[in-house]
Amino acid sequence: MTDTILTLDQVEDLAHQTLARAGASEEQSAAVARSTRLAERDGIRSHGLMYVPIYAEHLRCGKVLGTATPVVSRSRASAIQVDAAHGFAHAAIDAGWQDFVAAVRGQGVAAMAVSRSYNCGVLGHHAERLAESGLVGLCHTNAPASMAPIGGSRPVIGTNPFALAVPDGSGGARLVIDQSASAIAKSEIILRARKGEVIERGWALDADGHPTEDAEAALAGSMLPAGGQKGFGMGLMVEIFAAALSGGNLGIEASPFSGPKGGPPGTGQFFIGVDPVAFSGDGFHTAILRLTSAITDQTGARLPGARRVANRKRIEMEGVQVDAALMDRIKTA
């Protein structure tokens, strides 16, 4: 069996058709298919087509409600709330996006909270979307508990990433920071487990609290935070924004994003948008240029997000290579 090379249009279409076949509405499947395309475009394979069979499984077992209709409300001029109704976070985010961006422009700062949702794909893509509108984007999303506190052994919070994107003044993002509170994204360990590969020491503990290089043992144990207590503190910050403020389930209350066990995870997202013009006018962009130039002027240094930009240029030309085993899982999902 040979690998298949797909264009990005074909990646999106394959994801769209697979999710629709599994019971997702047009609104739900189209939003996730676009997210899948962007992940593959940027070389983030762990959030791309690899996740499509999992999404399909979760649609069929009821962990995600494919016919959910997000409900958008507004409690204050700058506070947008979206109830994802246990559908995909992507569709809920899209539902509130226009009101959210308008609120940021009108108020200078606004936030959008999404509750009763599912994972939102690559968090940095949502922050980048704000930057493409000329806004500074700060995004948070929580996940089912997989990381124990320092000195503990029982997971309390998820990998809980945050993402920051800064506009370049020309309709794009000057830089995108997208990082989890854990030493590595859990999806990377899932990918290694599927391939039968070992993980790096310092990524996870087994169920007994011992360091492990076995991917399966890591999935049964606990992720390790990046930077020790600092990483765990960052994860707690995200939990407060994405779950406590949004009204989503805490990580300790959410069912896993992998496997069919449990009902809908009901996690949350919390996005903050800032219009730099409201605070510093054109001075913001000149300051960002000075800051980022101090990085890029150094030989070998690169801005956060630069690797993704390089990947997308290459992949848009070369296409996406999909191994036969993954293609089979998608076709039979």
Which of the residues are catalytic? Answer: 46-47, 188
Alpha-carbon distance of 210 to 206, in angstroms, equals 5
Count of residues for the chain? 333
Q: HEC string of the chain?
A: CCCEEECHHHHHHHHHHHHHHCCCCHHHHHHHHHHHHHHHHCCCHHHCHHHHHHHHHHHHHCCCCCCCCCEEEEEECCEEEEECCCCCHHHHHHHHHHHHHHHHHHHCEEEEEEEEECCCCCHHHHHHHHHCCCCEEEEEECCCCCECCCCCCCCCECCCCEEEEEECCCCCEEEEEEECCECCCHHHHHHHHHHCCCCCCCCEECCCCCECCCHHHHHCCEECECCCHHHHHHHHHHHHHHHHHCCCCCCCCCCCCCCCCCCCCCEEEEEEEECHHHCCCCHHHHHHHHHHHHHHCCCCCCCCCHHHHHHHHHHHHHCEEECHHHHHHHHCC
